[in-house]
Chain A
Amino acid sequence: MRIAHVRKSMNAFGIAALLVWYAGPVAGQTTAPTGGRATVQPAATSGAPDAAGAGGDLQSAAPMQPLERIVSLHLRNVPLNDALREINKQARLGLTYTPRVVPVNKRVTIEQDSITAGEALDSVLRGTGTKAIVTKAGTVALVRGERRSERVDSAAGVVMGRVADAADDRPLAGAIVTVEGTELRAVTTDSGWYGIPKVPAGMRTLVVRFLGYQSAKQPVLVVDNQATRTDFALRMAMSRLQETVTTATGPQRRVELGNDITVIDADSIVATQPVTSVTSLLEGRVPGLSVLHSSGAPGDPSRLRLRGLGSILRSNDPIIVVDGIRIYSEQSSDRSNNLAQTGFTTPSPIDQIDPSSIETIEVLKGPSAATLYGQDAANGVIVITTRKGREGPPRWTMSATRGVTTMPGRYPVGYFGWGHKLADNSPILCAVRDPTCAQDSLSRFQLLNDPDLTVLGHGERTALTAGVSGGSATLTYSVTGNFSDEMGLIRLPDVEAARYMHLRGTAPPGWMRHPQRYTTWGAATRLGAQLGSKADVSLTAMFQRGSQRRSSLEHQLDGLMGTYFNRATGQYYVANPGSFYGYDINDQLLSDYFRRVEDVATTFTNGVNATWRPRSWLTASADAGLQLLNRDDESLLPPGMPTSFVGDTVGSIGIGYGQSLMRTINVRTTASAPLPHGFHFRVALGANYTNTSTRDLSITGRGLSPGTSAISGARDIDRPAQGAFDITSFGWYVEPSISHDRFWLSTGLRIDGGSTFGTQVKLPSFPKLSASYLISDEPFFPFKRIFNTLRLRVAYGQAGTWPGPADRLRLFQQQSRYIGSTSVNTLELQSVGNTHLKPERSKELEGGFDADILGDRLSVSLTGYRKTRYDALMSLPVPASVYGGGSILKNVGVIRNTGLELSLDVQPVRTDAVTMSTRLHLSRNRNRVLSLAKDIGRFCTSGSSSGCVAAGYPLLGVWARPIVGYADANGNGVITADEVLVADSLAFMGEQLPSYETSLHTSLSFFRSAVTVSGSFAYQDGLTQTSYAAGNNVIFSQGLNDPGAPLGAQAAAVATPLTSYGAIQTVSTLRFTSLAIAYNVAPSMARRLGARSLSIALQGTNLGLWTDYRGKDPNVSATATGNGVVDRNALPTPRTWQIRVSASY
C-alpha cells in the first residue's frame, strides 16, 4: 500500500527507483549480493538514460551484481573510451553508452588492484556528469546524471548515500537512516545504499542506526531539487546483535532469537591467542560453560558442561554440529578411555577438529535454544562453522609456533617424623601419637619438588598451520592444513634411567624417558559453488589424525607424592593407600614405568549442504553428512622389564580397535510472507535423521616373545571384549514465527522417535517459544541517551536426552563357570530392564537483555535461566535383597539448574594511539535435585560418577561423615582417635561443579594495532574437591607427624580411617590463564618481506594460580568417564610459553 501511494506522487523516474529500493527489503528482495563494494550511484541521481532499452527497466536497478565484479586496472593517461573497454572486458558488464553523453576522449588514469567494477567506473567517470546504471537485463549503461535534477520534485531535495562498516567498508543492509525531527526515513539496500526523497531544504541532521553498530549523526545541507550524498561509516558496537547465527532452521540474525547464543569468532582468536584445541578455544569465552580437565597430559580430554549437570546417568555432553553435520561428541562415555583396556584417557572427539579450520563457533546452551536440534540436545549444542572461501585472488595464511611447557608452582609438602623404637632404639617412622616410639626429628619433604628425583621436567610444542582461500563469484574455496607435535613434561629421572641401565644393560628407550607425546596433522576443505542465481552448494571435507602416547610412568605421580626418600639409607618410604597408617619401604624410586600406551585416532568428516531459493519467499535446503572416527589403541608391556611383580616380566599387550560412524540427513524449508499492518510471517519445516553406530573390539595377551609387539606374539590370549552401540533418531519440526519491525516471536514443535525408547512409550514432542524485542528502536523509548541499543528477550523450550540402546531391556548373560571340576554354562540376570523408559526431558526458561550503553563503550548482556530436567534417568541402586543389588534405570528424577550469566564488554579507551577493550563473563549456577521418585531417599553412587543424590541437594554432591568435634581431653597437645567425634550419618559437603565462574579478557592495542597485549584471568568458586592424596598419604600428613600441628589438622588425620571429611574442601581459584603480546609488522615492511601482513607474538598460558586448595591443582580432576570429580593426583595443567609467527600473502 505504501508503494502504491508513493508511486502516485512520484513521476520522476529516478525517484521511483529510489522507492523500489526502499520497498526492496520489505518485499524480501535478496538478489543483490551483500558482499563487496557498490559505488554506482543510485538511479535517483541519474537522469533518463541515453542508452537504448534502459528506460523502463530501472525498477530492477536493485541487482548490482555486475558492478560488484572485481577488476584490476593499470592505465595511465589513456582515453576514457579505452578505460571503459578494459573495465567492460574484465567485468563482462555488457556496457552501453554513447559519446553524446560520455566524453570518450577524456584522458584518465587508474591504477588499482581488486576493486569493483562500480568503483572503477566511478573513478574514471568522475567529473563527467555521467553515472552507471544496471538494466533489467543485467547489463550496465552509462547515463547523464544531470538530468535527474530536472525531474526531482521541486518542493524538496533528495538525500542519498551509502552506509558501510568502518572497519572493512562492507555495505550494511537494513540500516535505518532518519532525518532528525521528521518522519522521513529509509532503509539501506543490500549494497548499503539509501535514498530519502522530499527532504525539506535546509540544514538537516541525518541519523543512522543499525543493530550491532554504533549509531551515527551527520549534518547535511539539503538543496531544493538536488540530490545530496552523505555516506556513513559505522563502527561496530560490542553487542553484535546483527550477527547471523546458524540455527536448526537456517541462518538467522541474532536479534531475532529469544535466546542468548554465544558466538565465538574463532578465526580472530586463533590468530591472536594461544589456542591449542577447540576446548581451549571455548574455555573462558562462554558464560555458563564449565570446562573440567582430566589431566595436563598433551591431548588429554576435558569435559564440557553447559549450565550445570542435568543427568546423573546419561551424557551431559553437548552435541556438536559441524557445517550442519552431527559429529561424534561423547566426551564422558567409556570410549573416552583407551580401548586397549589400560585405564588411560584419550583425546576428546571435539579436539579432533583443527581450530585453525574454524570460522565461528556458536554455543547454544540449553533446551530453549536447542529444541529443534533433536531429542538429545538438552545439554546444549556447539555449532561449528568451518572457514569459507571469499571471492578474490588466493590469499595464503601461515603460522608457526614453538613453545615450552613446565609445571608451575610446587607440590604440597609431606611430613616425616623420624624417631626410634622405645623397645630397641631402632630407627622408625614415628608418628606423634605412637606410644611405641619417640620422635627425634621432623622432615618436610616433597619428592616431586626435588629436581633430582622428580618425574616432572619440561615439554615442548611445535605447531604449523597453512591455509589458502579465494575464488570467483561462482566458486569459492578454503583449504587449511595443520601439524602439531607436543612432548609432555613427564620424564624418567636419571636415577631410574641409571638403574634400568644397570639391570638391563641398555639405556631405556626414548619413549620410556619422555613418554608423553601428542602429534596431530590434518586438512580441512570447504568449497562453495553458486549454481545460478537461485541455488548454492557447499562441500566440507575434513581429515584429522591424532596420535597420543603415554606410559605407566604417569601413574606414578600419586605414589611419588607420598614418598619420602631417606638419603642416608637410600630407602624410599611409600605411603600405602590400602592401610591408612601403613607404608612400604622400597629401595627403588619407581615401581613401574614400563608400559607404553598409544591411541591413534583418524577422523573423516564429509558433508554437503545445498540451498535452493526458487522464490524470494521460499528457501529449501538440505544437509547430508557422514563422519567416521577410527581408533587404533595399543598397550604394550615389553617382556623382561624389571617390574616388581613377577607376573609382569613376561610382558603383555592389549590392542583395541574402535570405529564410530555418524550419519546425518537434514532437510528443511523456509517460507515467508508479509502480513497486513507491517507484520511478517515466516514458517520453517524440517526433518532430520541421525544414526550413531560404534563398534569396538579389544584383546589382551600375556607372555610376549622378546622383540614382539603384536598380539599374535602373545602366549596367552585373554577373552576379547566387544562393544557395539547403535542409536537412530528421526524427528520433524515446524517453526512458525512472526515479526514486526522491532519484535520477533517464534514458536516451534519437534516430534521425535528413537530406537532407544521403551516399547510402551509414546513419541515425545518438544515445544519452544521465543520472543525478542528491540525496545530501544521504539519512538517512545525514553532512555535513548543512555542506551544505544536495548533488546529484551525471553525463550522457552524443551529438549531431550535419550536412554542407552539396551537400557530398556531385561538382559541375561551367559557365563562359563566351574562347578567342581566341570565347566558349565550358566545363565544369570544382567539387568532388570524397564519397558517404560523414555528420554529425559529438559524444560528451560531463559530471559534477559542485551544493551549497548554509554556511547557504545559498554555492552551488557544479562541472562537468567531456569532449566529443569524431568524424567531424569537414574540408575537406581536396586536393594541388595534383590539379586544382590545392581541397578535399574528409571525416569524418576527432577533436577533443576538455575543461574545467571552476565557479559560485559567495555572499551574504556578508544583512540588512534591506544585502544583498550575488556570482556568480563560471570556465571552462577545453582543445581538442585528437586525430587526423586516416591520412596527413594538419598543414594550414593560409586565409580566414574561417584557422588550422592538426594532431594534438595545438588546432583552428585559430595557427602561425608563430618567431624563434629574434637578436644584434647588429656591436654597433651595430641589428638588421638578417641578424642575425635565423627558423626554417624552423612552430611552434605558441596557440589562437584563450581557455583561461580568468572573470566576476564583484556586487550590493549597500541599504535593502530601495531602492538597488542592481551591477558585473561579465570576465577572459580564453589567446586568441592576430594583429595585422594590427603587420604592416601595421611601417614605423612602434618596432623600425624608434626607435634605442632593444629588440633584440627590432627583430628582430620586421625579420623581419616572413618571419614574422608579431612580430604574434602570447597575451593576457590584465581588463575592467570593467558598472556599474549603481539607485534604486527608495518604493512610496508611486511610487503618488503613479500607478505601482505606479518606478526610475531609471545604467548603464555596458565601463568599463575592462587587458591586455598591444600592439594596441587583443584581444576584437574575430572574422571574421564561419567560425571565424577575427584583429585586423584593426575598431572596438573602445565604452564606454556610459546612464540608464534603468522603471515598472510
Chain B
Amino acid sequence: MRAVAQVWLRAFAGAALLGLGVMACSPERVVGNAKLPPDIPDPTAVQTPAGAVSAYHGALAHFHSAFGGEGSDFVSASGILADELQVEQIGVPIGVFGTNMRLDSRTMPEVLNPGFNERGDAYGSVYAALQKVRGQVAMARGLLTHYAPDSLQALSGHLYVLEGYAEIFLADLYCSGIPLSTVDFDGDYTLRAGSSTSDVYRLAVTLFDSAITLAADSARIVNVARVGKARALLALAEYDQAAQAVAEVPDDFRYAVSYVNRPGSRSFAYFGPGVARPYPVADREGENGLDYISSHDPRTAATPIAATTYDGRPIYFPNKYATTGDSPIVLASGIEARLIEAEVALQSGDAGWLTTLNALRTDGTYDTQPDAQDSTSVDTLWHAGSGGTAGLAPLADPGTPAARLDLLFRERAFWLFLTGHRQGDMRRLIRNYGIEPGRVYPTGPYPGGAGHYGTDVTAPIVGESSNPYFHGCSSRSA
C-alpha cells in the first residue's frame, strides 16, 4: 500500500510540475498580437484626409459605373426595359430569357432560380450598383466629416447629388418597396424595410436640397442638384415646385459623366473584343415603341454595324455614343430643365409649352457623332442659341391633350435619348397621367418568334432575401 501511495504521489508531483510549465505558456502569450498578412491593407490607414478624398473618388467612380458604365448600368438596363434598346445576339437566333431577355420582354419573376439558369439579368446587378453608390457615399461623407479639413466639406455636397440621383434611378427602375439601408462609415450597418416609390423620390428631393446648401459655391453642382430635384418632383407630380427648381438652370448647362476607353472605365456603349452581346437601338419595339431609327431624327440617329442578327436583320448602334466606350453621357442639362418647364406649362394649360419645345429644336444645335465607329469622343452638348438643329423643324400643336402629352414625351424621349430618362418617363405616363401600360410599353409578339412581351413595368428587387425587413415589392405597378 505504501508503495502504491509513493508511486501515486510521484506521479502527481511530476504531472503537476509539468502542468505548471505548460500553463505558463498561455495561448495568448504564444500567439501574441496577430500580424496581418502582407497583402491585407491596414484598416486604420483610411482615417486621414487623403483617405476621405479617396473615398470621395470611390463614390464618383461607383456612380460613373452604375450610371452608364460598361457592364451593369442604369442607362442601358432602363433602356432595355423601355423602348430604347433591344436584346439581340449577333449570328444566333434570339431566344427567350437569355441575358437580359427577361428585362427586355418585361417578364421578370420576383423569385429567381439559383444555379446555372440564373443568368443575372442586368436589373439585379444594376440594383446592387446603385445601392453601392449609396453606401460608398455614406462612407465617404463620414470620413470627410471626421477626418478632412473644412476646406473639403464642399465635397459632401457633391456626394449628396450622387446619392440623390442614385435614389431617383432606383425609384425609376424598380418596384415600390425599395429598402434604403444605411452604412456607418466606421461601424455597422442598419437594415431598412422597403420604401415606396414616392418616398424614395421624396428622399431624393431632400438630398438635393442638402447638396444645394453644401455646394453653394459650385454652380455646376448646384445646377445638377436643381435638375435632379426637379426630376424627382416631376415624378411626384409636384409640377410647380419642379419648374421652380430648374428656373435658374441655364440653357447651356450640362453635367456629363465621362468615360474613357480603358477596361472598367468604358461606357455601356462599348463594343469590342470579348463583347458578345451589344444592345442595339430599338425601333418601334413591340407595338408601342418609338421610331428612334426610322424617324431619322438626328438626336437618335443610329448606324448599322457590319454584323447582323441571326435572320439577317441589321443591328443598329447609336451615333450618339462611340463604340469605343469613351463618350460622355449627360446626367442633367439645360435641355432637361427646359423640358421640365414645358411639361409644367402643359400641365397648367400654358401655351408656352410648345414654344419651349420649339425653342430647343430651332434655337440651338445638338452635336451628334455622325459615324458610330469613330473612336473620337462624342459631344452631346446642346449649343443654346446657335441657330437650330438640322432636321428639326418647329412642331405644330396637335390640338388634343392626349396628343400634346404624347408629343411632349416624344420630345423628351428624343432629347434625352439613352440618358436614363425614358423608363421614368414611361412610368410617369402611367402613374401621373393615367395612360394604360399597354399603350406605353412594348407589347405583342417578342422578336424571333419566342413568346410575347409580358406586363412588367418595373423590375423586381433582387438581393434582399437576407434582409428580414424586406418582404418583396409592395407594388409592381408604375
Contacts and interface: CB of A to CB of B under 8 A. Distances in A.
A732 B25 contact: yes
Nearest to B37: A724
A722 B40 CA distance: 10
Contacts of A936: 466, 468
B82 to A, nearest CB: 22
A617 B11 contact: yes
A3 to B, nearest CB: 9
Contacts of B314: none
Contacts of B36: 805-806, 809
Contact of A882 (B8, B11, B189, B451): B189
Interface stretch (A182-190, A308-316, A538-546, A572-580): A572-580
B357 to A, nearest CB: 32
A808 B303 CA distance: 53
B368 to A, nearest CB: 21
A833 B10 contact: no
A829 B136 contact: yes
A985 B110 CA distance: 9
Nearest to A1030: B116
Contact of B23 (A617, A732, A826): A732
Nearest to B452: A978
A55 B117 CA distance: 90
Contact of B113 (A671, A876, A1060): A1060
Interface string B13-36: 011001100110111101110111
B264 to A, nearest CB: 7
Contact of A1026 (B19, B31, B116): B116
Contacts, number: 304
A1063 B41 contact: no
A825 B189 contact: no
Interface stretch (A66-74, A288-296, A747-755): A747-755
Contacts of A615: 10, 14
A985 B113 CA distance: 8
A175 to B, nearest CB: 25
Interface string B47-82: 000010011011011101000000000000000000
Interface string A877-891: 111111111000000
A725 interface: yes
B111 A754 contact: no
Interface size class, chain A: 35 or more
Contacts of B117: 580, 1031, 1056-1060
Given A818-B265, A936-B466, A617 B61 contact: no
A881 B180 contact: yes
Given A581-B95, A880-B131, A885-B463, A814 B41 contact: yes
B255 interface: no
Given A579-B92, A580-B95, A681-B8, A937 B466 contact: yes
Contacts of B41: 811-814
Contacts of A812: 41, 43, 45-46, 51
B181 A882 contact: yes
A645 B276 CA distance: 12
A683 B14 CA distance: 10
B31 A939 contact: no
B203 to A, nearest CB: 13
A734 interface: yes
B11 A755 contact: no
Nearest to A580: B95
A1059 B37 contact: no
A27 to B, nearest CB: 8
B279 to A, nearest CB: 15
Contact of B114 (A689, A725, A731, A946): A946
Contact of B465 (A728, A938, A958): A938
Contacts of A811: 40-41, 43
A821 interface: yes
25 contacts: A580-B97, A584-B91, A671-B10, A676-B4, A689-B30, A751-B27, A756-B34, A805-B34, A805-B37, A812-B46, A812-B51, A818-B265, A819-B61, A826-B60, A827-B55, A827-B57, A879-B463, A880-B462, A881-B131, A882-B181, A885-B128, A885-B463, A937-B465, A960-B113, A1026-B116
Given A878-B466, A880-B462, A986-B111, A647 B273 contact: yes
A618 B19 CA distance: 13
A967 interface: no
Contacts of B464: 879-881
Contacts of A734: 19
Interface residues of B, number: 99
A763 B29 CA distance: 12
A667 interface: yes
Given A581-B450, A828-B58, 11 more contacts: A584-B91, A617-B11, A673-B10, A674-B8, A755-B31, A805-B37, A811-B40, A879-B463, A881-B192, A940-B114, A986-B111
Contacts of A819: 57, 60-61, 64, 258
Contact of A754 (B31, B64, B274): B31
A748 to B, nearest CB: 13
Contacts of A942: 114, 118
A959 B117 CA distance: 12
A669 interface: yes
A672 interface: yes
Nearest to A722: B39
Interface string A383-398: 0000000000000000
Contacts of B15: 669, 671, 683, 685
A683 B11 contact: yes
A723 B465 contact: no
Nearest to B102: A1057
Interface in A485-520: none
Given A435-B449, A731-B27, A753-B28, A579 B89 contact: yes
Residue from A676, A687, A938, A958 having most chain B Cβ neighbours under 10 A: A687
Contacts of A676: 1, 4
Given A806-B36, A821-B258, A939-B466, A880 B58 contact: no
Nearest to B117: A1060
A1022 B136 CA distance: 45
Given A582-B89, A805-B37, A685 B19 contact: yes
A786 B199 CA distance: 79
Contacts of A672: 11
B298 interface: no
Given A730-B27, A809-B43, A828 B136 contact: yes
A961 B113 contact: yes
Interface string B179-203: 1111100001101100000000000
Interface in B88-137: 89, 91-93, 95-99, 109-111, 113-118, 127-132, 134-136
Nearest to A985: B111
A683 B192 CA distance: 56
A751 B30 CA distance: 13
A455 interface: no
Contacts of A810: 43
Contacts of A681: 8, 11
A535 B449 CA distance: 85
A832 interface: yes
B12 A876 contact: no
A877 B43 CA distance: 22
Interface string B434-452: 0000000000000001110
Nearest to A646: B273
A734 B18 CA distance: 11
Interface string A87-128: 000000000000000000000000000000000000000000
B154 interface: no
Interface string A555-588: 0000000000000000000001011111110000
Contacts of A726: 35, 37
A424 to B, nearest CB: 12
Contact of A818 (B25, B260, B449): B260
Contact of B131 (A732, A882, A1059, A1060): A882
A893 interface: no
